[in-house]
Amino acid sequence: MSIRLTRCTGTSIHVRAYPEIGYVRLSVYDHLSEAEGKLALIRTLVIEHTVIRRGMRLLFLQHKSTPSHNPAPLETPRAQICSTVLIMKFANSLVLTNALFIASIPSSVWGSPAGLDGHSISSRASSPKAVDLRSASNFVALGTTGISTVPPSAITGSIGVSPSAATFVTGFSLVQDATNVFSASTQVVGKVFASSYAVPTPSTLLTATGDVSTAYLDAAGRPNPDFVNLGAGNIGGRVLVPGLYKWTTGVSVLSDVTLQGSDTDVWIFQIDGALEVAGAKQVTLVGGLARNVFWQVADGATIGPGAHFEGIILSKTLAVLQTGASMNGRILAQTAIVLQKATLTQPI
């Protein structure tokens, strides 16, 4: 009997670090062992290290055994190397990454040589299914009680408000189209819609705002999160892998955050409180797409002055882009949207 691995999952690594960095080949060997008439699948991890510059070096790791109760007779075991990991310093975190394994350690942990002793790194979570926005995906910003701007803002994509009338779209110097179906603004590369415009706009907006509510409930209701209350709500300085995250509090970004994955990966963030990004801080994507990042926020979202943000905000209440803030994504709010000389670009 033999084991052939096509993916390496469910692995925990315990590391000790000293100040060097390099390419690390993480070899995962699986073999069968027989004890007391039962077979056990033994997973052993071996590290081979090549220093290329100063940074961090992993010196020690443990193996993890997964028991199996298959009573079949044991034949010659086989092993397979299935993972190569690049260790690098990214932003303020130490990152271990490859196609199957991504983890990060904040600087507060690796700042001293003893900091990583016994620190546990878990294998990458499975990417969840994307939230279906349905017709709400036709809008870069969609609110219910109003959309305001302190000009000049720069918006790429259509915006809308419903059930409020066009008088609740303020600061845009709207120019009505001859059909009265939509209006235009020099601040919007797209169209501006309101429920007071001519048919079919009212019904189109009613459907879209309903789809926002459906998408919000979908994101909020996803079960079995991969990460719960990460960083006690302070995610600054971290590299976040694809997966389902949940906080029973608010979430703050007080230093730069990176979302690292591939263009098919999905991030869903369930936030029971408010989302606040401090001024001039960055939420950036490496390898991923903004259309696959969903921030479900129960108590409003605020992107601070000069900050940058990525993803779809599904806000139960207010969403604000403060002065000079930029965002690649969508704002789908169930109350108002406030833009203050901000840049909002719909994702591709």
For residue 159, the model assigns a pLDDT of 98
Q: Position of tokens 């501006």? A: 192
Q: How far apart are CA 57 and CA 39, in angstroms?
A: 35
For residue 206, the model assigns a pLDDT of 98
- pTM for this entry: 0.70
pLDDT tens digits, one per residue of 183-206: 999 999 999 999 999 999 999 999
Q: Which residues of the chain fall short of a pLDDT of 70?
A: 1-126
For residue 23, the model assigns a pLDDT of 37
CA separation, residue 110 to residues 21, 55, 93, 250, 266 (Å): 12, 10, 8, 26, 28
In eight-state DSSP terms, residue 125 is P
Q: How far apart are CA 85 and CA 23, in angstroms?
A: 7
pLDDT tens digits, one per residue of 51-87: 333 333 333 233 333 333 333 333 333 333 333 333 3
